């Protein structure tokens, strides 16, 4: 029956995010808990990319993975999980022994690593999870499957595809780009020296290639270990300043930049100052880029 009035205005369709990215550990190099790091967190790198109906894709296993594990066991069912490591430095792997689903669940956890190291990932992970480093774990690790990432070619994992790009970092490390059917969603570059320079054309072409691989990514999570004044003393250490990360995000035309891998000595006030400076840098450059500093618990819809 008509009420005689004008038809109700069409409601805009709610925009459903393609994915959610959650931050469980944001600190670089070594965990730094305490009153000075309460706001941005002291746990080392771990983030998840979540799409509806699938288990979260876990990137890195720093100490932040402990909080993720507790959350998963409390809120979700036993299900197979995938963990992708960017590389094998201690701040990205030491949380694995404390990942609750390994003890509480029966499903498998498949571990990949995007570094180009020739040494076996299988023996590295087994050693990481063995006495005397970890005395209580025997029998538990049967649930871990360490998988070869054949030729580091794009890897399809359910609705997501992980693309391995090369980072500039001691040893070898990956920048991981996670795509869905609509294209790139998030680029995760926790350890990456953007201004690495050895006078060779190879480095120049690396930087050009990375910019093109990440071009147009909506969300860029990037190493911001240093401020510019600290760079000269740390060339070759494999990390970037927040200003460099901001310039790179502008070059990539990302929509949001999350400054990540905070220096362990940086207190909350110092991280805030770095974000303010990055925002001023964006304003001077003109284009709109949202800049945040990662904190534990931050969840972003993409």
User: Rule CB under 5 A: which residues touch Zn ion?
Assistant: 28, 89, 91, 191
Which one, of 224, 240, 212, 231, lies nearest residue 275 by Cα? 224
Q: Which residues pair with 165 in a beta bridge?
A: 175
CB 57 within 8 A of CB 157: yes
Spell out the residues 6+ positions from residue 230 whose beta carbon is closer than 8 angstroms to its own. Answer: 241
The CB-of-189 to Zn ion minimum distance in angstroms stands at: 11
The CB-of-44 to Zn ion minimum distance in angstroms stands at: 7
The CB-of-94 to Zn ion minimum distance in angstroms stands at: 11
Nearer to Zn ion, 60 or 179 (CB): 60
Which one, of 241, 201, 217, lies nearest residue 302 by Cα? 217
Between CA 210 and CA 156 the distance in angstroms is 20
Nearer to Zn ion, 91 or 179 (CB): 91
Nearer to Zn ion, 18 or 89 (CB): 89
CB 113 within 8 A of CB 84: yes
The CB-of-261 to Zn ion minimum distance in angstroms stands at: 6
Nearer to Zn ion, 18 or 87 (CB): 87
The CB-of-239 to Zn ion minimum distance in angstroms stands at: 8
The CB-of-164 to Zn ion minimum distance in angstroms stands at: 16
Structure tokens, 9: 């205005």
Q: How many CB atoms lie within 10 A of CB 125?
A: 22
How far is residue 242 from each of residues 232, 252, 262, 269, measured CA to CA in Å? Answer: 14, 15, 9, 15
Nearer to Zn ion, 48 or 225 (CB): 225
Nearer to Zn ion, 18 or 222 (CB): 222
SS3 248: helix
Q: Which helix (H) or strand (E) holds 104?
A: helix 101-104
């Amino acid at each position: 029956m008509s009420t005689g009035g004008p038809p109700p205005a069409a409601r805009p369709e709610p925009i459903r995010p393609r994915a959610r990215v959650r931050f469980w550990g944001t600190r670089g190099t070594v965990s730094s808990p305490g009153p000075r790091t309460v706001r941005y967190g002291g746990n080392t790198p771990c983030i998840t990319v979540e799409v509806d109906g699938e288990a979260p894709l876990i990137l890195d296993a720093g100490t932040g993975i402990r909080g993720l594990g507790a959350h998963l066991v409390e809120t979700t069912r036993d299900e197979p999980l995938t963990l992708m490591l960017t590389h094998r430095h201690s701040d990205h792997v030491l949380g694995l022994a404390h990942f609750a689903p390994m003890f509480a669940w029966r499903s498998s956890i498949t571990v990949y690593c995007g570094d180009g190291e020739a040494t076996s990932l299988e023996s590295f992970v087994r050693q990481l999870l063995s006495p005397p480093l970890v005395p209580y774990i025997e029998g538990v690790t049967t649930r871990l499957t360490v998988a070869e990432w054949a030729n580091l070619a794009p890897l399809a994992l359910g609705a997501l595809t992980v693309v391995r790009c090369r980072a500039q970092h001691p040893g070898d490390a990956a920048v991981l780009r996670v795509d869905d059917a609509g294209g790139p969603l998030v680029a995760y570059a926790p350890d990456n020296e953007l201004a690495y320079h050895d006078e060779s054309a190879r480095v120049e072409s690396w930087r050009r290639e990375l910019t093109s691989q990440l071009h147009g990514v909506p969300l860029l999570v990037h190493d911001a270990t240093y401020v510019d004044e600290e760079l000269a003393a740390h060339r070759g250490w494999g990390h970037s300043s927040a200003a460099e990360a901001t310039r790179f995000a502008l070059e990539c035309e990302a929509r949001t930049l999350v400054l990540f891998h905070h220096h362990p000595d940086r207190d909350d006030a110092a991280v805030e100052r770095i974000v303010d400076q990055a925002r001023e840098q964006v304003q001077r450059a003109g284009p709109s880029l949202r800049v945040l500093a990662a904190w534990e618990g931050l969840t972003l819809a993409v």
